[in-house]
Structure 1
């Protein structure tokens, strides 16, 4: 009888621990980001090398201080992709990161599908926002936009232990 009670206690403790870990990963660390209405969405101008705000509406964002890649944002813009591609730097190889299920506007699979289908273009917002992390902005043909943080080549090298090259900034 004592063995059954001990086994039940282990199962209960494991379930409670699992629930706490799930809650902390999916809900606890995330906080809504308050939009400032002017510089929440910026792109890197190819001519000047400076970040510039673009027109946007309906901005929603979340972030967490537990990781530099947890930032996600959604917005709409009246700006067209042809105009944006003439002015702003395109980001190659971006893959949207999965957002918590409760952040409904950001569906990484759908955004990735639009990028693959060439109905969305990814632009640079800021390179090395934090060492090894770039902020990127994807904009679709119909004016929906998404922002997330992408691990760049320097970040990949730093995290897997590969020696950093001269092209990487100082940490």
Structure 2
């Protein structure tokens, strides 16, 4: 009888710990980000300093636990789309939590490879070793994320 109670207690603790770990990874640290907080900017071609760009329909999340947790979905104006910005050839969208449904990293990555979207440098070194990247479609839909740059790659 005592072994059964101990087994149930261990199993219960494992389930509780696993559930807590899942919650902390997927929900706990994220918070909504406003358009003003995100301050979307892009680096004009041939320059090094990002300039703010107007965005529409902004939806973003971030977390203080890691500089790589930023994700955003928005649209840019046709006037902004017509300008020339610095490309980001090594763009690799990172997965967002499933509940942040506007950001699909797999689809975005495939579209970047196929040329249906293009990646631009938004903010270099937004954190040490991390760049903000913006991917833009021809219809103005845009997505932003942070990714490691070459300064921290193995």
TM-score by length of 1: 0.84
Match of 2:92 in 1: 95
List 4+ stretches of structure 1 deviating above 3 A.
none
Deviates more, 1:39-48 or 1:144-153: 39-48
Residue pairs, 1:88-127, within 5 angstroms: 88-127=85-124
Whether contact under 8 Å (1:55, 1:79) holds in the other structure is no
Query: Distance between the aligned counterparts of 1:25 and 1:80, measured in 2?
Result: 38
Query: Distance between the aligned counterparts of 1:128 and 1:49, measured in 2?
Result: 11
Residue pairs, 1:1-171, within 5 angstroms: 1-36=1-36, 40-79=39-78, 83-84=82-83, 87-157=84-154
SS at match of 2:112: helix
Change (3 A) 1:80 1:111: farther
Kindly provide the CA deviation profile for residues 120-158 of structure 1, in whole angstroms up to 9, marking residues without a partner as x. Answer: 00000111111110010000122110000010111224x
Following superposition, the deviation at residue 40 of structure 1 comes to 2.5
> Number of residue pairs matched?
154
Kindly provide the CA deviation profile for residues 18-69 of structure 1, in whole angstroms up to 9, marking residues without a partner as x. Answer: 00111111111000012229x7221101234221122320011100000010
Query: Distance between the aligned counterparts of 1:106 and 1:10, measured in 2?
Result: 38
TM-score by length of 2: 0.92
Change (3 A) 1:120 1:113: same
Greater strand proportion? 2
Unpaired runs of 5+ in structure 2? Answer: none
RMSD (Å), alpha carbons: 1.8
SS at match of 1:36: helix
Change (3 A) 1:111 1:149: same
